[in-house]
Structure 1
Amino acid sequence: MTVTFHELGVRHDGDEWIVGRVDSGDFVAVPEEGLRVIRLLQDGMDREQARTHLLAETGADLDVADFVADLVAAGLVAGVAGRPVPSPPPVRPSLPWLRPRHLGWALHPVAHLALLVPIATGVACLVARPSIFPAWEAALWTDHTAVVLLTWAAVLWLATGLHELGHLVTARAAGVPARIALGTRLQFLVAQTDVSGVWVAPRRVRVTVYLSGTVLDLAVCGLALTWAYFAGPHPLATWVVLIQVVRVAAQLLVFMRTDLYFLLQDLTGCRNLYGDGGVYLRGLLRGRRGTLAGLPPRERTVVRLYAALQSTGTLACLAFAVLVTLPLVLTVLLQSVRHLVRAESLPAMAEAVVVLALIILPDVVWARAWWRRHGDRLRRLARRLRTGRARP
């Protein structure tokens, strides 16, 4: 039976090859013999012919039928014996009118050097006059809480949009149909760009895509510091600097899948550092120590080290949410409710409503994004629990 594939990208990775679909972000690692079988099938051979040819060519006797079944499960096969095979649909790209041919400049070294100019200028201004770095109190430029929160939300989401646009533009320049969506990392609501298809691109391109958002954050921060140096303090510059510093610092939390996590994963040569770390930790909790047996020795060492960071970082982050963030949010929430109940004028009532909305709405969006990601798993767990109770 003949086998047809979706359009596949290929990249050499150590002793294996990464093969997959750039349009959907589905990839597998195969040995040299596996890649040769794929090439033979793409040339029109059926499975038995490919097996016989590989045996004569290399002496390797590969069970091509099982191999093809694995490729079908991975979503790489379009059809078998002329019949279409169900597979994941291509990623629906954000801003589809942005074409790779329009964005080649985003991967050019000159563009990267140009972004270093505002960063270096901002650092120079900060060194020359450290007082231009704003204190948190400077962000409270008015007594109206609603205005402060609205300013914070506006600057934050504009900065977030620019950050994600950096990922999207560089990924699209590499031919990857990137998509921007809201998601969650632990207790945080985040915007994130799916650039999975970049995995078969050269390392220089992958690193550029991973770092593009953070570098843009630093460039904007540098511009704001330069503004403050030459024009004096301004509430907008204050907000931009503080928000960008927090955003860049958040990328250092590599126990979550931040931009710098993907850079770390790539530089260490690991293929699923976060997932393998989670498997290792769950195995330890269940008393199993051989969960990383399928990984190369060097990768096992990296995963163990990362798992220690992953567990401590996650626990610290959740503890901070419970002990600091939650009490603070509840305090502001209760104060806003009291202000709403006791409001003596329409402006005071409107301000209290705006503050409540700005506190509650992100949590509602977070809950929706979290449920979209984890809801099916919880429903399956609930069905298993119900089935267990129903047994006599």
Structure 2
Amino acid sequence: MTDAAVPGTRRIEPSARVLLHELGVRRDRDEWIVGRMATRTFVALPAAGARALELLGQGLSVARTAAALRDETGEELDIADFVGDLAALGFVARIGDQPVPDAEPPPASLPWLRPHHVRHALHPALPVLVALLVLAALLVLIRRPDLLPGYHDLLWSPHGSLVLLTGAAAGWTLLFAHELAHLVTARAAGVPGRIRLGTRLQFLVMQTDISGIELAPRRHRLTSYLAGIALNLSVASALVLTLACTDTGTTAHRLAAAGLLIALMPLPFQLMVFTRTDLYFVLQDLTGCRNLYGDGLAYARYRYRRTLRPRHRAVTAPAPAASSTDPPEGQSTGPSADPSTGLPPHERRAVRLYSVILVTGTVACLAFMAAVTLPADVTLLVRAARGLGPGHGLARNADAAAVLVTLGGVNVLWLVTRWRDRTSRGPTATN
């Protein structure tokens, strides 16, 4: 980036000193994670970049910082260009005597909730308590396998409308509690967090943006990623114990069985790491990848282009003979270059393996939507539309209206959310 590309700044003079915003820094393997919590902007810097940031923060001018790094590393680094990049990221408050325009920070959900209010959410004893609760539920199920619920337990009442209403209320309540668990644990680590709707392929999801957790220790990061799953397992385990303490056939027993299924149903979705679920972020953290999804998608596209290339050449024209100046395999340049070659070895292996999971899972999901979900939705909507009108009874009109409002509303909400995400790309979120 050139100096002129920095909004609101002149050419950066060698004598200029830089005033940085409050930044968080954490070492991660051979790099440093640097970010500004207020704007949820984070980057990975090499050691030289982190050292340059430290010297600039100490008040050294651009020229003195470059000289100090030249003495320490033996390399000539363009610190003016580096400052321009920092300013574009929103890390710089002032260059010389000129302030740098600042972006409006994204709003946080439940801003009144302070880290000290929820500090116990990161207590080491909490995961142990959750594990003990789950273990107790498993022991009960081993002793009483008849408590394992089936699909019929969802139909706890002979009144279908009551089943649908209570199921929807319980499902959305648990969904919000799941996301609230992410928000609370992240807030305890000092991360603002934001809950909102999002899309994953054909799925409408609720997601929590906890950008900034990258600066927290690994235990806090993993706790925040797994907090939602732990919440669902805790609720399910408590309901198993409730089933063991209530008589079969009672309303309390039937409601507990239905609630147990509702609490467990979202968990298989977490295994779909190709849609960036909670377990995806755990996998990304454990593999040490910076952007597992983005890099995996780029590698999959590269392999796709490589697969089609021979066909393209066979149709258009014979391939030119290789010359001595052609780059060797795996070291090509330009749009056809392998995007994973620039990654560290541990990231490269993880990205290439993940790209297989990404492509396979995405194709399977979209195929299921095309073969099952979409035809079923269209059929239900067409039947509902045909069921409206004065020629049908009150019950038929009410049933058709309910289908149009619920099913049609969900699809419209998916479309609106998808459009919003397309037009305003934000930081990666967990869900």
Q: Which TM-score applies when normalising by structure 2?
A: 0.82
Task: Name the CA shift for 1:32/1:271 in 2 (closer, same or farther; >3 Å).
Answer: same
Unaligned 5+ runs, structure 1: 378-392
Distance 1:294 1:87 in 2: 32
- Corresponding letter in the other structure for 1:257: R
Deviations 1:260-304 (A, max 9, x none): 000000001111000000111122223335211210122111100
Distance 2:383 2:288 in 1: 50
Question: Which structure: greater helix fraction?
Answer: 1
Residue 229 of structure 1: CA displacement? 2.3
Deviations 1:201-256 (A, max 9, x none): 11010000000010001000111222222213644323322222221111110011
Tell me, yes or no, if the aligned pair for 1:278 and 1:307 is still in contact at 8 Å: yes
Tell me, yes or no, if the aligned pair for 1:155 and 1:239 is still in contact at 8 Å: no
Deviations 1:52-76 (A, max 9, x none): 1222344332210121222223332
Task: Name the CA shift for 1:236/1:87 in 2 (closer, same or farther; >3 Å).
Answer: farther
Matched, 1:262 2:281: yes
Distance 1:238 1:160 in 2: 18
Matched, 1:252 2:271: yes
- Corresponding letter in the other structure for 2:256: A
- Corresponding letter in the other structure for 2:408: I
Task: Name the CA shift for 1:293/1:268 in 2 (closer, same or farther; >3 Å).
Answer: same
Tell me, yes or no, if the aligned pair for 2:156 and 2:258 is still in contact at 8 Å: no
Distance 1:88 1:130 in 2: 57
Residue 352 of structure 1: CA displacement? 3.6
Partner of 1:322: 370
- Corresponding letter in the other structure for 1:207: L
Unaligned 5+ runs, structure 2: 1-15, 307-335, 426-431
How many residue pairs end up in the alignment? 376
Partner of 1:198: 213
Task: Name the CA shift for 1:320/1:235 in 2 (closer, same or farther; >3 Å).
Answer: farther
Deviations 1:332-372 (A, max 9, x none): 33444455446523x65434423321111111111111001
Q: Among 332, 355, 358, which residue is 1:310 paired with? A: 358
Tell me, yes or no, if the aligned pair for 1:146 and 1:354 is still in contact at 8 Å: no
Q: Among 57, 60, 66, which residue is 2:81 paired with? A: 66
Residue 193 of structure 1: CA displacement? 0.6
Give matches, 1:101-140, under 5 Å: 101-140=116-155
Q: Which TM-score applies when normalising by structure 1?
A: 0.90
Tell me, yes or no, if the aligned pair for 1:23 and 1:197 is still in contact at 8 Å: no
Deviating 4+ runs (over 6 angstroms): none
Distance 2:392 2:154 in 1: 25
Matched, 1:298 2:346: yes
- RMSD of aligned residue pairs (Cα, Å): 2.0
Distance 1:82 1:146 in 2: 67
Distance 1:354 1:144 in 2: 15
Distance 2:190 2:164 in 1: 38
